Amino acid sequence: MRNDGINPTAATFVCSLKACMLSGEVEKGQEIHAEITRIGIEKQLLICNTLISMYGFHDLFLDAFDVLENLPSHDVVTWNALITAFVYHGYNQEALDCMVQMHQRGISPDPVTYICTLKACCDLGSREKGRELHMEIIKQGISGTENSIYNSLVAMYAKFGLILEAKDVFDYLMVKNVIAWNSLLTTYTEHGHFEAVIKCLEDMELQGISPDLITIVCSLKSCGNMGAREKGREIHSFISCKGLEEEPPIGNTLVYMYAKCGLLATAQFIFDKLSDQNVVSWTALLAGYAQLGSSENVFCIFKEMTRAGITPDMMTFGSVLSSCSYAGLVEEGHAYFQAMHNDDDLIPSPWHQMCMIDLLGRAGQVERAVAFAMVMPCHPHGLAWHTILGACRKWGLMYLGDLAFKHAFELDDQDAPACVCLCNIYCDIETLEDENDFRVVLTD
């Protein structure tokens, strides 16, 4: 342009700054900023908004605030540039603080503001602030035709596990696109409402909404967890017609679905055809064999998996430990638990620790189970002591039953299941002659 004697305009600078932002050439953007200042147009609102976006996108918030402070006036785009950048970098509280400043300066939020701040609430786990924003959206008179905002609300309530609220917002939507449906489907799947997932899928079909990858994955998972073989096969046929079997998330979930339904031959067949056999697909197959109690196959798959260079994850170890528990393989289970414990990237969860307690209890090594519970990396919850109480009843260990009950009672002095377990132990050993004896046990 300059070689042809043409001077850049504000629009030229805006486009150039956006290019610098997207290409990562911040230094070039700073050079352009210097030129803008030199020719005296550094206070033009459009240019300043673009500068704030560029600096914010690259986490240069001091520079962004310098631009902001030199602006004679701000608009919603100015604040959105900051809020979007804060949320992008995970500075969620700062994003919400910006919105407060907007209100203080009399600037009304727009859909971009609400979408970003709702995401900030999600990431912060701030239910109350999210509800406040929802009320504000209603007061602003923003209708259900604003799909982007209401999709964000569905996603927010879904993230918080507030299923009824998510469904209420979903029902308010005038146009329900696949994004809105998927937010609801994901919520139902994560919280175990598998029949509701299939009902949503059928409603989508009736309304002519084509399912995408997320829809299909949620539906297959639900079929697997319900053991709905025929519906799973029906969805598989749809996948085949659309040529989607090679998509990694779908291939992995097909393995999961057939394995959960107990159709291990089909799961193995699909697994063998996968071009990318990753930790998810290996674990899905392994979990299927674990569910059927086929410990030999579980250990065989685990070895093949590690030989293939796939690093087991938390789910993999959970299935292996469950298999050890059902097979009564104490030392093998302990070895797998130690392998996970020694891996810096894996921290045993309460689930893994419960598997170990169950394993020891089933094998009659209840003292070891109690000792394990006492030194658990995370504090044992009531279920751990209930499991030990069940093992004490099985093996007739009254003194350990008393100990486990006392620990359960310390956690919850209204723990009815623990009381029933202890009563059963005493009844089985025939030392509880009447209910007054049990009251004495509880008092002690």
pLDDT digits (tens, 9 = 90+) for 22-40: 999 999 999 999 999 999 9
- 312-90-63-1 Cα dihedral, nearest 10 degrees: 70
- The terminus-to-terminus CA distance of the chain in angstroms comes to 91
43-75: per-residue pLDDT in tens?
999 999 999 999 999 999 999 999 999 999 999
Q: What is the pLDDT of residue 385?
A: 94
**CB contact at 8 A, 327 and 295:** yes
Mean pLDDT of 410-422: 88
Using the structure block, give the residue that is written with the tokens 């679905």.
257
Residues 6 or more apart whose CB falls under 8 angstroms from that of 230 comprise none
- Cα→Cα distances 151→59, 177, 178, 328, 436, Å: 28, 9, 10, 48, 59
* Structure token pair of residue 30: 């700073």
Q: Which residues contact 426 (CB under 8 A, 6 or more apart)?
A: 398, 432, 437, 438, 441
The mean per-residue pLDDT over the stretch 313-341 comes to 93
Q: Where are the alpha helices (DSSP H) in 140-212?
A: 147-159, 163-172, 178-190, 194-206
- Give the pLDDT of residue 370: 95
Query: Residue 33, class by beta-carbon neighbours within 10 Å (0-12 exposed, 13-18 middle, 19+ buried)?
Result: buried
Tens digit of each residue's pLDDT (9 = 90 or more) over 155-196: 999 889 899 999 999 999 988 999 999 989 999 999 999 999
For residue 375, the model assigns a pLDDT of 85
Mean pLDDT of 124-142: 94
Contact between residue 395 and residue 424 where contact means Cβ atoms under 8 Å apart: no
Q: What is the pTM of this model?
A: 0.79
Q: Is the pLDDT of residue 77 over 90?
A: yes
The Cα 62–Cα 73 span in angstroms is: 19
Ramachandran area for residue 60 (φ above 0: left; ψ -120 to 50: alpha; else beta): beta
- Give dist(CA 84, CA 102) in Å, integer: 14
Length of the chain: 444
296 phi/psi in degrees, rounded to 5:
-60, -45
> What is the phi/psi pair of residue 343, to 5°?
-85, 120
Question: What is the predicted pLDDT for the residue at 6?
Answer: 72
3-state SS of 2-27 is: CCCCCCCCHHHHHHHHHHHHHHCCHH
pLDDT of residue 270 exceeding 80, the answer is: yes
Considering only 121-130, 138-147, 173-182, 228-237, which range has the smallest mean pLDDT? 138-147
Hey, what are 213's tokens?
A: 């990858």
Instruction: Enumerate residues 6+ apart whose C-beta is below 8 A from 31.
Output: none
pLDDT for residue 162: 92
338-351 confidence digits (pLDDT tens): 999 888 889 889 89
Q: What pLDDT is attached to residue 434?
A: 46
CA 159/CA 233 separation, integer angstroms: 30
Quick one: which H or E segment has residue 61? helix 61-69
* Contact residues for 95 (Cβ-Cβ < 8 A; gap 6+): 82, 83, 86, 87, 116, 117, 120
